[in-house]
Amino acid sequence: MSTSTPRTSAQNAAQELIARSNRLGADPKNTNYAGGNTSAKGTETDPVTGEPVELVWVKGSGGDLGTLTESGLAVLRLDRMRALVDVYPGVEREDEMVAAFDYCLHGKGGAAPSIDTAMHGLVDAAHVDHLHPDSGIAIATAADGEALTKQIFGDQVVWVPWRRPGFQLGLDIAEIKRQNPQAVGCILGGHGITAWGETSEEAEKSSLWIIDTAAAYIAEHSKAEPFGPALEGYAALPDAERRAKAAALAPTIRGIASADRPMVGHFTDSDAVLDFLASAEHPRLAELGTSCPDHFLRTKVKPLVLDLPAGASVEDSIARLKELAVTYREDYQAYYDRHATPESPAIRGKDPLIVLVPGVGMFSFGKDKQTARVAGEFYVNAINVMRGAEGLSTYAPIDESEKFRIEYWALEEAKLQRMPKPKPLATRVALVTGAASGIGKATAQKLAAEGACVVIADLSLEKAIEAAAELGSTDVAVGVQVDVSNADAVQAAVDAAVLAFGGVDLIVNNAGLSLSRSLLETTEKDWDLQHDVMAKGSFLVSKATAKVMIEQELGGDIVYISSKNSIFAGPNNVAYGAAKADQAHQVRLLAAELGEHGIKVNGVNPDGVVQGSGIFASGWGANRAAVYGVEEKDLGKFYAQRTILKREVLPENIANAVFVLCTSDLSHTTGLHIPVDAGVAAAFLR
């Protein structure tokens, strides 16, 4: 291989590469999330010999260009990497070369080298970009993509027929560059683009020129209706009707996508999706599946498409979706059986990751919210690709057998096996009421820390959003407003949860308030308020969420934050204690009723949780302090001293109890109340 490529210093090469990568990755028109890779070559002094050594920095496996940092780069010695050409055993054994990259690493090597490392090391250019832009893949998947490449770019971009990513593709592109010194890049059939330059600026300019030139050509020359004419009855429903139908269908669809293993969902009703589903050619194109490896590894080879018009009833849609799910699983099994060999990894699951509903939108699924959201983004990329290819020619993705080779690649399997073990509550969607403060907030924090997606439901929308933001992005938590005493408000909150994460399966009835008054001082209004929020509110939340869990067929947990006062009879507490007793018996009643659906119902009985409590801060603390003859600031210490353990109960203690109830360790426990009161003998359960 030639070594004539100019080199820059190590520090400059890495810095320029990261800056270029971040710029390219920040714009979705250039590449999809975690898709593509970039590289730079430079020199550094070898600390062993003291001599200059040529290195290549390349984005490591699994990284994202838009957020790439130096820790995400793999660093390899060029001399050793180029020497691999002499021991390359041929395309039938090219997978072995990935392990050989480890012997080319410089120093600690940085991130794990990706399958595309050969492309970057072997191409004789100081800077190389490999990207997955929609416009470039549209040309790459057009039936006459080679002719279009020549027509659009002349001799500055060279067509490369489909070849699976790997060492041989790196050799092919290196040879293409050698034979075409005037070229600035190439279109990789069925896949994406690669561009290069002798400076970082030149490589970036070449990449953007290919992307923008392809997009401009498609815009100018595309037929008016790439997806065919409008399909009668399949137009998008009005906004409110569309979202309502999406929420009604979501639990069933999540159950379909989770038959083999639980999944988190994401809903998209973008114009790109709705327009695609409203057009006559969408069934044919959806059946052809995606083409770019990054796309179908996230979306599976094809989606499940509901074949009913937008106006179909929810009941008819659910019935048909269940029928289609059976067919989809049979088809996927047949796909696996057609191509699997004795060496192939075991089938990973037959459920769809993309479900398309005309007039409504797209449901996408993954092991967590981010994965589900990105899967949906990738299918939108695929729609854009299909539009471009159909507008100029005919969409012609790579062959099904090639898709299987990549989906069940030993290297892909090894990558999956390296993934960290999921947290205990991974894939669980939790809805916690009264979660903007106190016990609710601590519980939401605990559930999120253990892997759950969390919906913070609170009477104050502003506080709910603030509490959710403290947990992370909307891939982790969202805030919704709810008055639990209002059935319509509860249903709206549950619908929001379902549209945010695909469904719900862990409910914490925590919303509450308290008025410390004697029997004679308690008004009818006081009584109704206490019972509306806690007794009625818990009932409404449990009813609305149980319906979702039953439709999902994934089981679930409902946890009531009741109270020591549901058992203990104390002074000036008639309305609060009676409401808490109501909640406590709801636990037993619902445990008996919902068990056949795999839904566990349990309770936690706290006492004396002063710290961070909205109830205590709103007057209850002052009243209880007066009842017991202590200063309000000393109430927590007072409660601690009257317990057996002499410990103050904190919100985190209740959160820990909720967590334990919802783990597999207590998978056979329902109808239980756990006291978290540091030991109050009068409240012992009998």
How would DSSP label each residue in 312-365?
A: --HHHHHHHHHHHHHHHHHHHHHHHHHH--TTSPPP---S-SEEEETTTEEEEE
User: 363, 354 in Cβ contact below 8 A?
Assistant: yes
576 part of the active site = yes
Beta strands 105-110; 127-131: pairing state: unpaired
For 271, the enclosing helix (H) or strand (E) is helix 271-277
pLDDT tens profile 111-163: 999 999 999 999 999 999 999 999 999 999 999 999 999 999 999 999 999 99
Closest CA to 666 of 557, 508, 510: 557
Distance CA 598, CA 150 (A): 60
Angle of helix 200-221 relative to helix 145-153, nearest 10 degrees?
110
Active-site choice (33, 576, 628, 639):
576
User: 599, 557 in Cβ contact below 8 A?
Assistant: yes
Residue 3 confidence (pLDDT): 46
Distance CA 175, CA 523 (A): 88
User: Residue 491 burial (CB < 10 Å; 0-12/13-18/19+)?
Assistant: middle
Residue 683 confidence (pLDDT): 87
Mean pLDDT per block of 10 residues along the chain (686 residues) reads 52 90 93 89 91 94 91 95 94 90 92 92 96 96 97 97 94 96 97 96 97 98 97 97 98 98 98 98 96 86 97 98 98 97 93 98 97 96 97 96 90 77 96 96 98 97 97 97 98 98 98 88 94 97 98 98 90 91 97 98 91 71 80 84 92 97 95 94 84
| Strand stretches in 607-663, DSSP E | none
Residue 8 confidence (pLDDT): 60
